[in-house]
Structure 1
Amino acid sequence: MKRIPRVDARRVPKLCHLETIAPGVEFVEITKQKDKESSKYTEYTQPKPLFGSKSKRKIISFLEIATDYNVKMISSRQMVALSFDLYTAGYIDKEQHLLLSFQAELQPNFDDTIGALINQNSAPDKQRDFIELWLERCVFEQNYPGPDHKRTYRLKIILNMLTALDKMAQTAQKWQKTKVDDDQTSIPNFPSLSLKRMEY
């Protein structure tokens, strides 16, 4: 018995392959008039996003991020959340996000590895001044440069971003304070009025 090769020489996956290999890919069969004569062509749609349009993340402004986080008193866990907010809002790129969100104290074996070397226990919820920490990292990277020369540049960008967040938060606090002061001074201080009718 002769074996007839397929015209298009492509292997069409079966439904069981789609379920096991690519569960998110939908199998759509498109057959045009001219293809009906030769063979069936199949086409796959792109995987659908896990979240619908109703659950899209709100774009966060730089001012909102600055008022939500105090970079001079922030823990390692909060720094990961700050890094994620900066990355999703588009203020830092992926490499800077990886540098900023990697906190050694959040690793489960910190006490046995890095903590044993520097004689320190992990305290991921302890608040610190991260501007000072990143300044120390920049100075160390400048004094002892590694093979990656772009790392110093990335560290400086992160340091500038944290400094800008701190300045923005201070400016927002001053603005709020002056706004409250203006509101209090603009209202005149009238004596309390009585609705009783005065009888003479």
Structure 2
Amino acid sequence: MTYAPVPLKMMPPESGIELLNLLQDAGFDNPVLFGGCLRDSFRKAAFNDLDIRVGVAPAFHGASVIESAKTYLDDIPEVEILRMPRERGGYGYKKRSNDGFGVTEFRFRTLFNFKGYGIPADIVAMESIPNIDDIVMDADAPINGIALKLGEPVMAHPYFEEDIASATYAILRTDPRDIADSVKRFQAIAPRFPGLKIVMNKDLT
């Protein structure tokens, strides 16, 4: 069976919508809000930060992804950069390869404070355009598979609502290192999610 994201009726956080608009107006491509902030908003619970993924086109000829992102962020007075790599290989930097097509993509994280709301925002910037379906379905657990793009409904993993209702953190990963990361994420979320239980390799058939 093939699974795909489904639309979810909910009110996204105002801070997230505002930040998406600011990022898009500044020049970032297809900003997408995803993960915990939407999950916790759906639960009517407080959230810790805003997780966003954006595409970065060169701000000027010859600019690197990092230089371009810095240029765009500098044009947004509402944000205060807290941490950002100065060069490839810096904070949160990742090199992602697609062996099938020989494509190498560079990604990095930047952390900043969204002033006015006092909310930290964690952004993953990439050279390609973020795909909301991939973001939702690549989540480590269905309760983290939720995302929003401007002008569209919130999209969620088909098991999102079921696992939220049953307080189930169903790890979908199989690699031991990925599982270890998911367990750490579960441990961070559990104190804020009463009754949350962990399930390994949930059967989605």
TM-score interval for Structure 1 and Structure 2 normalised by the shorter chain: under 0.3
Higher relative contact order (CA 8 A, sep 6+): 2
**TM-score of the aligned structures, taking structure 1 as reference length:** 0.23
Larger radius of gyration: 1
Q: Which has the higher helix share?
A: 1
Q: Which has the higher strand share?
A: 2
